[in-house]
Amino acid sequence: SETRERRASSSKRSAPVRLKGSLPAGRQLRGVLTNLSCPTCPGPEQDCLREVTLSTQRLRVLPPAVLSNPALESLDLDRNKLRSIAGVSKLCNLKKLILSKNEIVDFPREIQRLVWLEKLELNQNQIRVIPEGIFSHLPRLKHLRLNNNRLGALPRDLAACRGSLQYLNISNNLFRTFPQPVLQLANLQELHVQNNALRQLPKELFQRQSLKMFRANGNPLREPPSEVCAGGIQQILNYFNQLQHGSGQEDKRVKTMFLGASLAGKSTICKSLKQRQSKLVPKEERTVGIEISEFRIDDFTFLFWDFAGQLEYYMTHHVFITPQALVILVINLHR
């Protein structure tokens, strides 16, 4: 019976205590943590906490009462005014750290000391650069959110998480080329790259068995085209396989758009090209709205889109401009 009592007492002491909800900020916060009622804790009550949520508290610094608890495993600081997280390395057992929707500009280097970290969220801040040498110290990281920042590249040492990282979100950033370290994440299951400036995706990304979900809408993609990516991973794979085996059909149509002010000479150039000689279009025959026609050269077909130049039509032009279209801007230098 004495052994059972000892085991029961040990079980109570190790049970996680959670603190959630709206808490007073500033000097009152220490008092709230100190005065918690926790009869199972052998020492100071706040040292027993395993999970703390301090979201929407307008915090500018990490509360000392939180940093004094090395047993803490989960810390949620969402929607505050933090610019740095000085002292967070004291939380040596931290597994989950939420820093989304703060005012962080410089990626916190102290995070590299949180070697037990499994979930890290830094989305919706103002981070431009992530220094090398952070992720090589986070071998257990499974979940990483960096979306809605100002990132244009990822550090090479992100590849150190190749065996652990399963979820990555880098959407709504400034990536113009696909970040190569992502290709080394062998166990990645979910990847979000929406709303960047990506034009091309590597086929190697889709050849792994682990990837189950991929989102890339909102990019000016050319390879694979956006409509292919919208069909999902299997359709993307089919696209690359068709290219590799030469079964894809080459599209020899070229969308050609003529833009310019009214009476700039758009219709004249359009008709002169088709007739292969100069052909002045009278003023009374100028385009109203859009005039679409075809022009063939050998095996290629040019689809001419002759747009009216009146101001009232300008607002519709962007609707018809597509990423791979040839746009000819016509200017009358005599006007």
Rounded CA-CA distance 3/7 in Å is: 6
Structure confidence at residue 24 (pLDDT): 45
Rounded CA-CA distance 207/143 in Å is: 21
- Every domain of the chain with CATH number 3.40.50.300 lies at 253-330
Structure confidence at residue 308 (pLDDT): 79
Q: Which CATH fold topology does 253-330 show? A: Rossmann fold (3.40.50)
Residues ≥6 apart with Cβ < 8 Å to 26: none
Cα-based distances in Å from 108 to 129, 130, 230, 273: 11, 9, 35, 59
Residues in the chain: 335
User: Are the CB atoms for 113 and 92 separated by under 8 Å?
Assistant: yes
Token representation of residue 22: 């709206």
Token representation of residue 284: 């009374």
Longest dimension (CA), the chain: 107
- Every domain of the chain with CATH number 3.80.10.10 lies at 9-244
Rounded CA-CA distance 202/224 in Å is: 9
State pTM to two decimals: 0.69
Reading the chain (335 residues) residue by residue, the pLDDT tens digits are 555 444 444 444 444 444 544 444 433 454 345 444 344 444 454 556 899 999 999 999 999 999 999 999 999 999 999 999 999 999 999 999 999 999 999 999 999 999 999 999 999 999 999 999 999 999 999 999 999 999 999 999 999 999 999 999 999 999 999 999 999 999 999 999 999 999 999 999 998 889 999 999 999 998 898 888 988 999 999 988 888 776 555 667 788 888 888 778 878 888 888 888 787 777 667 666 778 888 888 888 888 888 777 666 666 666 667 767 888 888 888 77
Rounded CA-CA distance 34/254 in Å is: 71
Structure confidence at residue 281 (pLDDT): 79
User: Are the CB atoms for 274 and 295 separated by under 8 Å?
Assistant: yes
CATH class for the domain made up of 9-244: alpha beta
3-state secondary structure the chain: CHHHHHHHHHHHHHCCEEECCCCCCCCHHHHHHHCCCCCCCCCCHHHHEEEEECCCCCCCCCCHHHHCCCCCCEEECCCCCCCCCCCHHHCCCCCEEECCCCCCCCCCHHHHHCCCCCEEECCCCCCCCCCCCCHHHCCCCCEEECCCCCCCCCCHHHHHHCCCCCEEECCCCCCCCCCHHHHHCCCCCEEECCCCCCCECCHHHHCCCCCCEEECCCCCCEECEHHHHCCCHHHHHHHHHHHHCCCCCCCCEEEEEEEECCCCCHHHHHHHHHHCCCCCCCHHHCCCCEEEEEEEECCEEEEEEEECCCHHHHHHHHHHCCCCCEEEEECCCCC
